[in-house]
Structure 1
């Protein structure tokens, strides 16, 4: 799997740019705030129609422009795909694959899979549960179209239910619709828990070995999926999870009405990371938690390769500069095979990197493209 070509119009600070890429290593360098991360963000957007930095698509469009555009040529599954995304300020985005309009972002699943690793991910273990949910959601959405659809619908229902709980005392008639929203949230929530639990199981098969290799066998990494208390077996059937969610909703009904908050559902789930049986978030050192985060990301890459038979496109956004020499070497040794994009400010620090192509970025413009 590889991205051959990318074209941008009015995306972030790029008014227009076209670039062709090397099938292995692509080094993107330049000073800070010139557009290096924006380039990787555009690539990642083509894989899932989501940005890791923006909540709304309008944030991706160049200031004072009505639209932004991303187009990529991708070799995947022994075919060539032309993926396009038109971002509209104030309107719904439009997605195409080989000229066919896509109804949902989930239809992008499996065409271009990417693993993005940025400096913020090094704090994945120490952050709140929402960061780890985003990690799980971003990974699963690229592999499972039904998961992406279920997640989008659950989030829509969650927003509606939140408004009901917030306003019901001023408008009691809103409670007439609460049971229907609870039922549908339990239906979609059960699918979300099912997919997340099985993906965490796959992570648990890959990440501990990577972490053990990195730590020289001195530490044992453990992963556990934590969801609502009534779900005894997250790996069980969707029907069993659904029934358990209904029980949890009923037991929390009064508390939700009193607090005016949605307290029941997978929007509170967490991926618990442990080192030698203890919470990595509470007891792990900075070095240990960084190593654990690296292991999760590299495990994600392994799972994608197993699922699709092809290495995903790896996007390393200035992450190597945040690592010590040992961790840099470990990451570089682990990314043999597949296409890689690496951003940095000082390319000479990566002189030992495999040969490929380099791109100098300045002010939303590619000043040079050359083989290295």
Structure 2
């Protein structure tokens, strides 16, 4: 019964979007940028930079409220997609905007008939990819044919995708079915800040940051690092900083060298200050090596076999990492205590952060301007 209801609601959703799109068919396209925002801190100044020269309207999901407040202080119009009135207004805005930039998969894009003089860009919310997504996502194979067709319609709605490397270009060609002509090697605007060599806070302790990926319906003990054991191994020489997903319920151990970061706080500042990052399938790995060329990246995959089966991992990506993947807390501790000074991050960045050189925002702005001015 639930399955039937969900299927009906999805179809109703599509019908509403298609009707709104049809209603806008004869309306002229306005010279402006419409930005679809579902990830906070993904544009890092791009929207403000565009707004200096062009009209910008932001369509946002409620998890981006803090960033929206800042954008509104710049006089940028922001529309909440999570309200009925905002959703209708947002779809009308999309149908009439010359340039559309999306930071994620938005189901309604597949039900909008865009005009010839409209251009839709994908500005993905991650610099690189460890887990598989899109057409390669293992879980997508279990979805209904209607769902699969909807996924493909959304992927086909994009004209171009911004990437930072040939590696990520290959991922998008496999995951979204993009052609090489749809790939724009600009880098990611949000990484420009990571390229600035921030002066680290004075500390005689080694900062170890642990950022695990959230697993839905998976017991915490099957994938979480033994935090106490790692903290004990660091003794007084290191500080272990831990940031978990808001949905993870875990009793915090009270230890002097463990710092629990609020789940609602941005990890960006901590990434830039860290000496070591421990993570699993998160794209923060690419951010960390860019911000910390001499830092230590430790990949912890305790549930690798199951993760490969359920979600999927990018082929042979483990060969790109500066160090071998670990599977136990003891392996993590060994890498922490026996870290040779290698040039692993340099090679990793060359593969995945090729165009993240501090000038990505300028290249994206040039692309948008070219389209708005009718030069492309």
If the length of structure 1 is used for normalisation, what is the TM-score? 0.25
TM-score, normalised with respect to structure 2: 0.25
Select the structure with the greater relative contact order (CA < 8 A; seq sep ≥ 6).
1
Q: Which protein is richer in strand relative to its size? A: 1
